[in-house]
Structure 1
Amino acid sequence: MNLADFWFILIAVLWTGYLVLEGFDFGVGMLMPIVGKTSKGKRVLINTIGPVWDGNEVWLLTAGGATFAAFPEWYATLFSGFYLPLLLILLALIVRAVAIEYRSKINDENWRNRWNLAIVVSSWIPSILWGVAFANIVRGVPIDAEGTYTGGFFNLLSPFALLGGVVTLAIFLSHGAIFLSLKTSGAVFERAKAFAKPASMAAVVAGAVWALWLQLAYSENAWTWGALLLAAVGLIGAAWFSRADTFGLAFTFNAVAIVGAVMLIFGSLYPDVMPSTTDAAFSLTVDNARSSHTTLVVLTWVAAIMTPIVLAYQAWSYWVFKRRLSEEHMPEHNELTFHKN
Structure 2
Amino acid sequence: MDLAVLWFWLIALTFTLYFFLEGFDFGVDVLRPGLARSEAEERALTGTIGPFWDGNEVWVIAAAGVMLSTFPVWYGAVFDGMYPLFVVVLLCLLLRGVSFEYRNQVRHQRWRSTWDWVSFGGSVVPSFLWGVVMAKLIEGLPITPDGRVEPGIGFLFTPFSLVGGVTTLLLFMLHGANFLLLRLDTGSPLHARARTAALRWGALATVAILAFVTMGYVTEGLFESFGVLPWLFPVAAFATLASIWWALVQRRDVMAFVMSGLTIVFATVTVFLALFTRDEVLPSTLAASSSLTLQGSASQPYTLYLMTWVGAIFLPLIVGYQIWNYRVFRERVRPDEGALDTGY
**Alignment-derived partner of residue 38 in structure 1:** 38
Does 2:238 match 1:236? no
Q: 1:141 touches 1:151 (CA, 8 Å); kept in 2?
A: no
**Alignment-derived partner of residue 173 in structure 1:** 173
Query: What does 1:142-161 align with in structure 2 at a 5 Å threshold?
Result: 142-161=142-161
Unaligned runs of 5+ in 2: none
Q: 2:178 touches 2:195 (CA, 8 Å); kept in 1?
A: yes
2:281 partner SS: strand
| TM-score normalised by length of structure 1 | 0.94
Does 2:331 match 1:329? no
1:275 corresponds to which of 280, 283, 286: 283
Q: 1:180 touches 1:189 (CA, 8 Å); kept in 2?
A: yes
| Post-superposition offset of 1:233 | 3.1
Aligned length: 336
Unaligned runs of 5+ in 1: none
Query: What does 1:109-258 align with in structure 2 at a 5 Å threshold?
Result: 109-185=109-185, 186-216=188-218, 217-219=220-222, 220-223=224-227, 225=230, 226-258=232-264
Cα separation, 2, equivalents of 1:264 and 1:108: 46
1:193 partner SS: helix
| Post-superposition offset of 1:235 | 2.3
Q: 1:37 to 1:223 in 2, by over 3 A?
A: farther
Q: 2:226 touches 2:273 (CA, 8 Å); kept in 1?
A: no
Deviations 1:257-283 (A, max 9, x none): 111111211111121111001011100
1:288 corresponds to which of 293, 296, 317: 296
| Post-superposition offset of 1:228 | 4.6
Deviations 1:133-163 (A, max 9, x none): 1101101111101211115211111100100
| Post-superposition offset of 1:37 | 2.7
Q: 2:137 touches 2:282 (CA, 8 Å); kept in 1?
A: yes
* Residue type at the aligned position of 1:63: A
**Alignment-derived partner of residue 260 in structure 1:** 266
User: Identity, % of aligned pairs?
Assistant: 37
Cα separation, 1, equivalents of 2:23 and 2:330: 18
| TM-score normalised by length of structure 2 | 0.94
| Post-superposition offset of 1:335 | 7.5
Q: 1:280 to 1:126 in 2, by over 3 A?
A: same
| Post-superposition offset of 1:66 | 0.6
Cα separation, 2, equivalents of 1:167 and 1:22: 15
Cα separation, 2, equivalents of 1:96 and 1:325: 21
Q: CA RMSD in A?
A: 1.6
